[in-house]
Each structure stands twice: as C-alpha cells, then as structure tokens.
Amino acid sequence: TMRTLTDPALLKTQSFIDGAFEGDGCVAVTNPATGETLAKVPDMGADEATRAVEAAAAAFHPWAARTAKQRSAILRAWFDLIQANREDLATILTSEQGKPFAEALGEIDYAASYVEFYAEEAKRVMGEILPSHTADARLLVLRQPIGVVAAITPWNFPAAMITRKIAPALAAGCTVVVKPAPETPLTALALAELARRAGFPEGTVNVLTGDAVAIGGVLSSHPKVRLLGFTGSTAVGKMLMAQAATTVKKVALELGGNAPFIVFDDADIDAAVDGAIASKYRNMGQTCVCTNRIYVQDGVHDAFVARLAERVAALKVGDGFEDGVVQGPLINDRAVEKVESHIADALAKGAQLVTGGKRHERGRTFFEPTVLTGVTADMLVASHETFGPLAPVFRFSTEEEAIAAANDTEFGLAGYFYARDAGRIFRVLEALEYGMVGINTGAISTELAPFGGIKESGNSREGSHHGIHEFTELKYGCLGGL
Ligand code: ADP
C-alpha cells in the first residue's frame, strides 16, 4: 500500500500511450524497505511499444512545428506542477525506491530543475550563417529536432534520469517514449500524469511499463526512433548500442562508473571527509557518480580514515520515511550480495574492516555503511563498481601514483580530488580521464553543467546548453544564385 498522497490521482498504475492511461496491472511494484506491494502495473511488450513509437512519430511534426515559445510554456507549466506536487512525488519515490525522504525531495527538485532549465533553453536553439565559398551563395546551418526519442532509465533516480533526457528532447521539438526501470515505474507515471495536465499534446510523451527486453528491442530497432537515450549498466548499454546500429540511431549513453576520490596531503581533511560521505553514501552508494575508490596520501591517511570511520558509523540506517534516516535499504538482494562479495574478496586478500561490514540488524536489504582500509589494486572493489555503501581506502605516496591508479579503469564518468595547491589542482584536473571532476567537492550534479562520461562510461552530455544539442540534427542549406 502507498502512503496517503495529497493528490491520490498521482498514483497511476497504467502505462501512458498516446495521451491515455491504459493496461491492466499485473507486475508488482514493491517497497524495498518493507516488502509491501505498492501497486501493480501493466506488463507491456513489443506491440504496445510499437504503438507508442507510432503515436510519438505522429505527434512529432505538429510538436516540432510549434514555436519554441509555445513548447517552452508547456514545459514551464510541467515544471510548476512538479514543484507544486513535490511532496507527493517524493513520497511515491521513497516508497518504491527506498532513498530517505529528504533525498527524494532533493531528487524531485533536481529533476524539476532540468524541466525549468530546458523550458528556458528551448528558446535558444540557434542556427548559423557561415562565410561562403562563393560570392553568390550563403551557407545556412539549421538545428532541427532529431525526431522520436526513446529513453530507457534506471531505478536509482526514478525522476531525474527521466527529466534529464526528455525535458531537453521536448524543448528541442522531439517527442518521447520512456521505459522506466521495472523497480520504479510509479514516479515515471506520476510525471506523465503531470505532463498530461501541463498540456503536452497526445502522443508527445509516452511511458511504457513491462518487459524490458521486448520494449527495449522495439525502442532500439524501430526505424522511427531516431535517438535512444539510456542510463544504466554498461552491459545493457553496449547491447542497446549494437541493436541501434542496424538503423543507425544516435545513442546517448550514461553507463557505469568507477569513481576515484583522491585525498592529497595538502587537502583540508574535514572537507574531504564531508565530500567522501556525500559522494559515497548518497542513495546508499547507488549512483553512477558515487565514489568507488578512495585514495589517501601517506601524510594524512590515518587522520582521514579515523574521521571517516567515525562519521560513517554514525549514519542512521532505516526506512526512508523515519526521521533522521540517511541510509535506506538497497534496491534488492542482488545489490546486497554484490556489496558482500566485494567485502569478502577484499578481506580475503588482506584488507582490514574499520566499520560496518555486514547486513544491518533491520534485515531485508538494509546494510551497514562500511569502511575498509589496506585496499589494493588486485581486489574486486578496485575494478568493479560496488553500487553500495562500501568505502574502500587505498594508500598512496606520490601524485603520479594516484593519477595512474585513478585512471587504471575502462570507466570514465566522475572523479574527485581534494588538494589546495593550485599547480596540483590543474595538473590533476587535466590528467584525470573522467568526464566530470569534483575538486574539493563531492557534489557535482546540477542542471547547469554537462553531465556525462568518457571511455566506457558513455558518449553524451546531459544538462547545460550542451544537453539540448544531443536532440538536434544540423542541416546545411546552400543558398546559391544570389
Ligand atoms: P541495473 O542492473 O542497475 O538494473 P540495467 O542496465 O539492467 O541496470 O537497467 C537499466 C534500465 O535498462 C532499466 O530500465 C531496465 O529495465 C533496462 N533494461 C535491462 N535489460 C534490458 C534489455 N535487455 N533491453 C532493454 N532494456 C533493458
């Protein structure tokens, strides 16, 4: 059962296709903190996905033909509705995902910020007139919406991963088909209901629940889908990229990370501990930009570990609706087993347990926030994303050694470091092979900046003025005979 909402009509349990909610609920959505069934949503497949794509394709030209200002006004209305309903949205989010309610409110505000930003940015998609190769011609460059956009999104940010993709797409003049994660469809459907109320025309926004493989198969292969946006695991992203190749779709991927967090001898240690807590334990460690490896220089190692451990041991674990809780349950058993396997592997290879280390006494998927020291490159945590509340601390001596270790991964999403020396700050910033670097901060995400990775962490940017360009095509018009 769902907690009482101020507006119970926001609890939608049907998929949203071509402007209508439809389908019978059969797949249970569960509260990870309690195990309760919250609702049942339809198990849609290839047929419904095809219908949704066709509805989006039919809606595309009229939507693209509206003026940017008209699209902007509807996005702005959607933003206002998300803000006005933030408590209900956060309630739905915490219920199906588990993160503490305060964090869920933060996510709703963050999700809304993309809608607000791209409502504004819709009006600033510019073309160009380039210098010509002949006197009697002009070279025109148009930026046009790419077409139908499909978005496949994960459970760790049930709201923000959707708005971050579809707000810029809609602003640019694209129409969208969203497949949220099966763990967290209710937040997505509530956002769809608010989009409906905001006045998006039928078919402009579609949300499908159900069979990931069948729906994903259509979204990655239907010729009318021109861009596939995906946030999720690297394995699934690579597969979708391969499937999208058959119709030469653009793919915008945000995949896994293996974020290093480096603390140099000249760092402000208290600030570094704050940053480590923020970047490691947000969402119980279940974000793609979460710190995965902490490297601490010899001179400050012991002081840093002592302070970190004290803070981590004090993190309150429990149901996200309880006061003061900052660590909810992990999403499922598989997530817990991965954390356990990383801890067991590290301990077997000589790491030391400083705090935590096991399932929390509350049972279910609650896990004790954990710190390990004496971690080395041969341990699983060095090369694999834990995606849970485990902070492994490596010790290092030189700057070169830290940079080499930090870059020794196929991933390149986010990295962090703490230092005060200006020369070092520039050297390390330039040397880190990551799409995003937090310097003396563990909180980098904002709609104002381009979020995204390099190497096997992805190939696109979401947020900022760059984010809307992903959803446009350049058209060159050569106007001759002047
Ligand atoms: P996680 O392991 O964190 O759940 P996934 O990459 O499996 O990460 O999930 C991210 C999104 O990808 C979810 O919406 C999920 O349903 C979807 N997904 C998983 N497998 C496939 C697939 N074979 N085809 C299309 N989408 C998929």
Distance CA 173, CA 473 (A): 11
pLDDT recorded at residue 237: 98
User: Is any ligand 1 atom within 6 A of the Cβ of residue 450?
Assistant: no
ipTM score of the complex? 0.98
User: Is any ligand 1 atom within 6 A of the Cβ of residue 153?
Assistant: yes
- Asked whether 187 and 108 are in contact (CB, 8 A), the reply is no
pLDDT recorded at residue 60: 99
Question: Across the chain, what does the average pLDDT equal?
Answer: 98
Among residues of the chain, what percentage have pLDDT more than 70?
100
Structure confidence at residue 226 as a pLDDT band (50, 70, 90): very high
Structure confidence at residue 246 as a pLDDT band (50, 70, 90): very high
User: Is any ligand 1 atom within 6 A of the Cβ of residue 233?
Assistant: yes
Q: Is 87 a catalytic residue?
A: no
1: pLDDT strictly greater than 90: no
- List, as one string, the DSSP characters of 380-397: HHHHS---SSEEEEEEE-
pLDDT recorded at residue 13: 98
Distance CA 132, CA 173 (A): 29
Catalytic residue among 54, 121, 183, 254: 254
Q: pLDDT tens, 361-419?
A: 999 999 999 999 999 999 999 999 999 999 999 999 999 999 999 999 999 999 999 99
Q: pLDDT tens, 448-462?
A: 999 999 999 999 999
Distance CA 350, CA 228 (A): 43
Distance CA 306, CA 217 (A): 49
pLDDT recorded at residue 56: 99
473: pLDDT strictly greater than 90: yes
Q: Using the 8-state DSSP alphabet, how is residue 131 labeled?
A: P
Distance CA 388, CA 330 (A): 7
70: which 2 tokens?
């008209």
Residue of the nearest CA to atom 27 in ligand 1?
Answer: 212
pLDDT recorded at residue 236: 98
Sign of CA pseudo-dihedral 156, 162, 165, 167: negative
Interval between CA 154 and ligand 1 midpoint (Å): 7
Q: pLDDT tens, 37-63?
A: 999 999 999 999 999 999 999 999 999
Among residues of the chain, what percentage have pLDDT more than 90?
100
